[in-house]
Amino acid sequence: MSALTLADARRVIEAGENRATEIGQPQNVAVVDTGGNLVAHVRMDGAWIGSVDISINKAWTARAFNISTKELADNAQPSDQFYGIHASNSGRVMIFAGGIPLTRDDEVIGAVGVSGGSGDQDQTVAEAAAGAL
Amino acid sequence: MSALTLADARRVIEAGENRATEIGQPQNVAVVDTGGNLVAHVRMDGAWIGSVDISINKAWTARAFNISTKELADNAQPSDQFYGIHASNSGRVMIFAGGIPLTRDDEVIGAVGVSGGSGDQDQTVAEAAAGAL
Amino acid sequence: MSALTLADARRVIEAGENRATEIGQPQNVAVVDTGGNLVAHVRMDGAWIGSVDISINKAWTARAFNISTKELADNAQPSDQFYGIHASNSGRVMIFAGGIPLTRDDEVIGAVGVSGGSGDQDQTVAEAAAGAL
Amino acid sequence: MSALTLADARRVIEAGENRATEIGQPQNVAVVDTGGNLVAHVRMDGAWIGSVDISINKAWTARAFNISTKELADNAQPSDQFYGIHASNSGRVMIFAGGIPLTRDDEVIGAVGVSGGSGDQDQTVAEAAAGAL
């Protein structure tokens, strides 16, 4: 497995920024590596300050469980099998769309997290970002 | 964009206090600036001590996402697009009524947060406060 | 014992602000009540944002131990009897000058905390503030 | 006062990376805006994961008190006027070299924080970074 590099992270972030610009919604975009540790983060001009933490933790969550936060959300609602997981890990688990694992040669080597718009906007930006790895 | 001053914050708080007195419900009222940092806070005599933190964090939330906490609440219920956001940002995100962005010349320059009564009471006090900027 | 009111807190803060203006150093000034809970806080224009937390916690500390934070500092240095106390109470204990108990009829009914300048500046502002109760 | 932009942050970070490469020490470099909120962060390949948090909080500290963390360190040693400040602000205050305020037109508009090497290495990288604003 080749490790995710800063150059990888920048390519992922740039693709996310481009998609965010296309849809007219400034975003926070963060990338973590295989250990879940932050590699790079950007907050586009005008993006929400409350989304700094959320973008980083969406990325962390997607790597921590090797699942998109959108899919995790489906299992984390009241009465679902993982309901309450958002209280674990000192509040780092994000259970709404925008976090996606980054995969190379069928191995998860990190994740991207996007926050700054609606759930649909965050998801489309995260998909564009993840696609650039 | 002109920064929110302490004089601005005091005018906002005074308007909130006046409305709180009208409805007979002592309140905590807090104002944050464009960076989400506290500018001023008051706890009216008899207001809940548990609402100190809530008022400050409602203000922070309203600025962090440029949205009233009442509107954010509509998107943060189970199965909604932002469900779980209350676990982010180390527990600072408040998802019930009483926080409102403060706007000047179409720019959000801060926010007010009110806590101490029912949701309706907090909201009417926050609206009166925000209207005084 | 008569409780510390918001009107008391405002008189204390105003005296602190006046002294801060005299010495030309914008400050954060906070007042807590007998329970150590925040009654009011102001950040003067231009005062440090890192001092919001410190002013509130200097006030809390001065009430929590009924001692000025300047005196507590003398006992909290390495090798002194209370060394390590700053790690207690989830990091709320401030061990440098600027926090002073507020006393009425020989009872401590709250405290004031000042942060935003040098230790000497914080102390003189806190003394002026406390003298106004 | 013109706000610090993402383009500004990237220029600052690039200068820091160049200096880090010159001295052969991979680093974390973070930039915050006037409100102390993160604008951008990078961890160079091979840099310490424990320095992600430190770089971000050095930047925060330098803006929170408008002082370099190297200078703050001189006042935060045992028996000095700010000893104990590292316990404030929920552990965000960093009191060793590597954080420097970013100034435009004599106004502090943000700060840069560097972590990943010795104190001298962090400082020289932070100085190169700050010089690029």
Asked if the C-beta of A51 comes within 8 angstroms of chain B's C-beta atoms, the answer is yes
Strand partners, A97: none
Which residue of chain C is at minimal alpha-carbon distance from B43? C39
| Neighbouring residues of D69: CB distance < 8 A, sequence distance ≥ 6 | D58, D61, D62, D94, D95, D96, D97, D98, D99, D100, D113
Chains A and C touch (3+ CB pairs under 8 A): no
Residues of D within 8 A of A39 (CB-CB) are 42-43
Asked if the C-beta of D38 comes within 8 angstroms of chain B's C-beta atoms, the answer is no
CB-CB contact of C108 with C132 (8 Å): no
CB-CB contact of C43 with C16 (8 Å): no
Distance CA B62, CA B32 (A): 9
Contact D82 C95 (CB under 8 A): no
Asked if the C-beta of A52 comes within 8 angstroms of chain D's C-beta atoms, the answer is yes
CB-CB contact of C112 with C28 (8 Å): no
Asked if the C-beta of C68 comes within 8 angstroms of chain D's C-beta atoms, the answer is no
| Phi, psi dihedrals of residue B101, rounded to the nearest 5° | -65, 150
**Predicted pLDDT at D1:** 55
Residues of A within 8 A of B72 (CB-CB) are none
Which residue of chain B is at minimal alpha-carbon distance from D109? B35
Mean pLDDT of A17-23: 98
Q: pLDDT grade, residue A2 (50/70/90)? A: confident
Asked if the C-beta of B77 comes within 8 angstroms of chain A's C-beta atoms, the answer is no
| Neighbouring residues of B121: CB distance < 8 A, sequence distance ≥ 6 | B20, B23, B25, B27
Closest partner residue to B37 among D1, D3, D35, by Cβ? D35
CB-CB contact of D83 with C95 (8 Å): yes
In the predicted structure, residue A35 carries a pLDDT above the cut 60: yes
Quickly list DSSP for D87-102.
Answer: GSGGGT---SS-EEEE
**Predicted pLDDT at C128:** 98
**Predicted pLDDT at B2:** 76
Which residue of chain D is at minimal alpha-carbon distance from B109? D35
Name which of B5, B37, B56, B108 to mutate to probe chain D: the one with the most chain D Cβ atoms within 10 A of its Cβ. B37
Distance CA C31, CA C8 (A): 9
Closest partner residue to D37 among B1, B3, B35, by Cβ? B35
CA of D89, closest CA in chain B: separation in Å? 12
CA of B82, closest CA in chain A: separation in Å? 6
Closest partner residue to C95 among D64, D84, D89, by Cβ? D84
Closest partner residue to C6 among B39, B40, B42, by Cβ? B42
Contact B37 C52 (CB under 8 A): yes
Which residue of chain B is at minimal alpha-carbon distance from A92? B88
| Neighbouring residues of C124: CB distance < 8 A, sequence distance ≥ 6 | C19, C23
Asked if the C-beta of D37 comes within 8 angstroms of chain A's C-beta atoms, the answer is yes
**Predicted pLDDT at D93:** 98
**Predicted pLDDT at B98:** 98
Residues of B within 8 A of C35 (CB-CB) are 49
Which residue of chain D is at minimal alpha-carbon distance from B90? D90
**Chain A (6-35) residues lying within 8 Å, Cβ to Cβ, of chain B:** none
Closest partner residue to B41 among C38, C44, C49, by Cβ? C38
Distance CA B58, CA B8 (A): 18
Distance CA D117, CA D120 (A): 8
Contact D34 B37 (CB under 8 A): no
Which residue of chain C is at minimal alpha-carbon distance from D92? C50
Between residues B2 and A46, the one the model is more confident about: A46
Burial of A106 (0-12, 13-18, 19+ CB in 10 A): exposed
Q: What is the pLDDT along chain C (133 residues), one digit of tens a residue?
A: 579 999 999 999 999 999 999 999 999 999 999 999 999 999 999 999 999 999 999 999 999 999 999 999 999 999 999 999 999 999 999 999 999 999 999 999 999 999 999 999 999 999 999 999 9
Chains that touch C (3 or more CB pairs under 8 A): B, D
Contact D5 A45 (CB under 8 A): yes
- Looking at this predicted complex, what is its ipTM? 0.96
CA of C77, closest CA in chain B: separation in Å? 30
Tokens 């330098």: give the residue: D62
In eight-state DSSP terms, residue A4 is P
Please give the structure tokens belonging to residue D32. Answer: 């915050």
Asked if the C-beta of B45 comes within 8 angstroms of chain C's C-beta atoms, the answer is yes
> In b/e form, how buried is each residue of D75-109, taking b as 16+ CB within 10 angstroms?
bbeeeebbbbbbbbbeebbbbbbbbbbbeeeeebb
**Predicted pLDDT at C2:** 79
pLDDT digits 0-9 by tens, B57-79: 999 999 999 999 999 999 999 99
Q: pLDDT grade, residue A1 (50/70/90)? A: low
**Predicted pLDDT at D2:** 75
CA of D81, closest CA in chain A: separation in Å? 33
Which residue of chain B is at minimal alpha-carbon distance from C38? B52
CB-CB contact of A69 with A57 (8 Å): no
Q: What is the pLDDT along chain B (133 residues), one digit of tens a residue?
A: 579 999 999 999 999 999 999 999 999 999 999 999 999 999 999 999 999 999 999 999 999 999 999 999 999 999 999 999 999 999 999 999 999 999 999 999 999 999 999 999 999 999 999 999 9
Q: What is the pLDDT along chain D (133 residues), one digit of tens a residue?
A: 579 999 999 999 999 999 999 999 999 999 999 999 999 999 999 999 999 999 999 999 999 999 999 999 999 999 999 999 999 999 999 999 999 999 999 999 999 999 999 999 999 999 999 999 9
Distance CA C72, CA B10 (A): 33
pLDDT digits 0-9 by tens, A101-130: 999 999 999 999 999 999 999 999 999 999
Residues of D within 8 A of C89 (CB-CB) are none
**Predicted pLDDT at B1:** 54
Q: Give the domains, in start order, of chain A with CATH numbers.
A: 6-130 (3.30.450.150)
